[in-house]
Amino acid sequence: MATEMREHTVQEPRDVPPDRQWSRDAVENRVFGILRWVVIAGLLLVTLFPFYYMGLLSIRALDEVILDPGALWVSLSELNFDTYTSVLSSPDSGGQGFLVFMRNSALVAFGTVALTLLVALPGAYAVSRLEFFGRRQVSALFLSVYLFPSILLAVPLFVAFTRIGQRGTLVGLLIVYVSQIVAVSIYMLRNYFDTIPVSLEESAALDGCGRLSIMWRISLPLAMPAIVANGLFVFMIAWNEFLFALLFLVEDRDKWTVSLGLSQLAGSIEIPTTVLMAGSVILTVPIIVIFFAAERLLTEGLTAGAEKG
């Protein structure tokens, strides 16, 4: 009896009416679902393919590139890493000296990041939290400084640093980079400090924390994603910058940066294409590695320091 009742209560699934299967909402969801993956695949192809082809050319022999420049896949037996040896070795050994260029670029880039953040963090915090005359206008002033083309400042800076004896030095180039970037860094960090609730700082002040202690223990941990993002932004500018590196360092090859060294490879008809591609890979890889290494820090700190105890 119970079995018969269960059999009667079980109902066969009803078929969805065809008009509901092909409703406007269902069609749009299916079409946009497919288009989403098509767009993602297209963007990945456009973004990754040039770098893939550049890396492929850098590990192929020059004669094979001349015979078949459009090959998109090669066997392992055809791989040749002699171009990287040629690019990284010193000129005395017949190479291009990119190892020295990378060292110079790293010193300038990391130094620029450190000095820029050292100046921009207290400056941005002051503009965001302290009350003073012209507080609203100063942010627009900082941004307007960055809008001036670098070529307009190149000649005055060239003359000024020549007179003080800092042209042709990495320290002089670093100072120029900091002076160019610190204004926009203050503007960017100030906008993030404005999003941090003032109530957190007020609670810390009630507990006896001073202004510097509040900034160090509360504001900076919460602003860590913005600080890391700003540091990456500054690093990429200093690592890839070419104009001021050319003006300040062109006379001394031992002081060249990677971008300046790569431009000399591109401007020489004696340099094989494979060597040029290897130099391009060396210029690009550090940015990619640092970005993925700092990706975790971009999401950390969103709630760090927000809880008391």
Tens-digit pLDDT profile for residues 222-272: 888 888 888 988 999 999 899 899 988 888 888 999 988 888 887 666 677
Please choose, from the candidates 189, 220, 211, 227, the residue with its C-alpha nearest in 3D space to the C-alpha of residue 305. 220
* pLDDT bracket for residue 303 (50, 70, 90): very low
Phi first, then psi, for residue 146 (nearest 5°) are -75, -20
Task: Give the tokens for residue 4.
Answer: 């018969």
Look at residue 153 and give its three-state secondary structure. Answer: helix
Q: How many CA atoms lie within 13 A of 65 on its CB side?
A: 18
The mean per-residue pLDDT over the stretch 6-26 comes to 56
The mean per-residue pLDDT over the stretch 112-137 comes to 85
For residue 308, pLDDT beyond 50: no
* pLDDT bracket for residue 149 (50, 70, 90): confident
The mean per-residue pLDDT over the stretch 157-163 comes to 88
CA distance linking residue 119 with residue 233, whole number of Å:
15
CA distance linking residue 134 with residue 127, whole number of Å:
10
CA distance linking residue 131 with residue 238, whole number of Å:
33
* Amino acid type, 215: M
* pLDDT bracket for residue 60 (50, 70, 90): confident
pLDDT (0 to 100) of residue 229: 86
pLDDT (0 to 100) of residue 114: 95
> Residue for token digits 């960017």?
188
* pLDDT bracket for residue 17 (50, 70, 90): low
CA distance linking residue 224 with residue 123, whole number of Å:
16
For residue 8, pLDDT beyond 80: no
Which one has a higher pLDDT value, 162 or 207?
162
- The one-character DSSP state at 302 is S
The mean per-residue pLDDT over the stretch 302-306 comes to 42
**Residues 261-301 pLDDT 10s:** 888 887 666 677 888 888 888 888 888 888 888 776 665 54
Q: Provide the mean pLDDT of the chain.
A: 81
Cβ contacts of 81 within 8 Å, gap of 6 or more: 59
* pLDDT bracket for residue 105 (50, 70, 90): very high
For residue 1, pLDDT beyond 50: no
For residue 172, pLDDT beyond 50: yes
Share of the chain above pLDDT 70, in %: 86
The mean per-residue pLDDT over the stretch 169-173 comes to 91
Cβ contacts of 224 within 8 Å, gap of 6 or more: 297, 300, 301, 302, 304
This prediction has a pTM of: 0.78
For residue 80, pLDDT beyond 50: yes
Share of the chain above pLDDT 90, in %: 12
